[in-house]
């Protein structure tokens, strides 16, 4: 039997709240693709930063279902309309999570530090002028500043503090965000990474990247991730090689169509 996810017809809406779109669907598809691992992971606390319509956090609760063994769920959003819409979406699906109207995790860090086992984030990643970042309403859902990184770069150190020792982060990124650089930044903090879902549309190329803490990570002189206890550096399929192959395929497709 296939796993349940939120039904679009039951997702609530508001003019000032971001509706489920390609990035939302890609993130849920990534969670579905990793569902077996998530169930084996047995998370005790799952969190979404920037819940919007509630489509993602509701889908996560539904796909884990009773097998989640009493896991708790929490979601935040800076947009107070989004909190109400998420509540309505969850009620329509018969699930519950703690909802907090706050910027990223402000006011929650002391309470949640080191306790989040699964963190999902579809951040504002669209490159925009810096002055558009942090506006109220629906603009807060997409305005990402220079290279779309302003909010992402605020979220990453907070995610590092919130995640437990076995914590996993699922992050939506755009090619313009320089995902390879994001992975290098997280690697310095001890995180391995891989692309779970890559999806290209006419407007954007999305990468859903999973990060997890790996005590065996070492960085050699060539700045390549290795894992001393498992696979040789020349064999290990890192997110960097994944991104390189994706770039090659896109280039090949463009050449063949021209």
Q: What pLDDT, in 10s, does the model give residues 108-133? A: 999 999 999 999 999 999 989 888 88
Q: Which helix (H) or strand (E) holds 180?
A: helix 179-187
Q: What per-residue confidence (pLDDT) applies to 166? A: 96
Q: What per-residue confidence (pLDDT) applies to 250? A: 44
- Residue 12: which of 99, 93, 119 has the closest Cα? 93
**Single pTM value for the model:** 0.85
Q: Are 174 and 151 in contact (CB under 8 A)?
A: no
Helices (H) and strands (E) counted in the chain, each on its own, are 8, 9
> Residue 46 region, left (φ>0) first, then alpha (ψ -120 to 50), else beta?
beta
Provide the residue count of the chain. Answer: 258
Q: What per-residue confidence (pLDDT) applies to 211? A: 98
Buried b (16+ CB within 10 A) or exposed e, 65-90: eeebeebebbbbbbbebbbbbbbbbb
Residues pairing with 192 in the sheet: 212
Q: Are 99 and 88 in contact (CB under 8 A)?
A: no
Residues of the chain scoring pLDDT < 50: 219-237, 244-258
Q: What per-residue confidence (pLDDT) applies to 131? A: 82
* Cα 28 to Cα 32: distance, rounded to the nearest angstrom: 6
């Amino acid at each position: 039997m296939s796993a349940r996810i939120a039904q679009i017809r039951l997702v609530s809406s508001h003019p000032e709240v971001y509706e489920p779109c390609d990035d939302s669907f890609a993130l849920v598809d990534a969670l579905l693709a990793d569902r077996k691992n998530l169930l084996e992971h047995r998370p005790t606390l799952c969190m979404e930063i920037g819940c919007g319509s509630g489509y993602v956090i509701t889908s996560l609760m539904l796909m884990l279902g009773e097998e989640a063994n009493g896991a708790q769920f929490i979601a935040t959003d800076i947009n107070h309309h989004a909190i109400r819409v998420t509540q309505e979406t969850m009620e329509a699906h018969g699930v519950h999570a703690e909802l907090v109207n706050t910027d990223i995790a402000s006011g929650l860090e002391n309470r949640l530090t080191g306790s989040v086992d699964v963190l999902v984030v579809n951040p504002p990643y669209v490159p925009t002028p810096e002055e558009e970042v942090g506006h109220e309403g629906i603009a807060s859902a997409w305005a990402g500043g220079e290279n779309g990184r302003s909010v992402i770069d605020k979220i990453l150190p907070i995610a590092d503090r919130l995640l437990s020792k076995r914590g996993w982060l699922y992050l939506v990124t755009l090619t313009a965000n320089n995902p390879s650089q994001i992975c290098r930044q997280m690697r310095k903090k001890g995180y391995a990474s891989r692309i779970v879902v890559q999806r290209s549309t006419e407007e954007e190329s999305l990468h859903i990247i999973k990060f997890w803490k790996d005590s065996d990570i070492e960085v050699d002189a060539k700045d390549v991730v290795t894992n001393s206890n498992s696979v040789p550096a020349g064999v290990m399929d890192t997110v960097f090689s994944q991104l390189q192959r994706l770039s090659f395929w896109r280039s090949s497709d463009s050449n063949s169509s021209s």
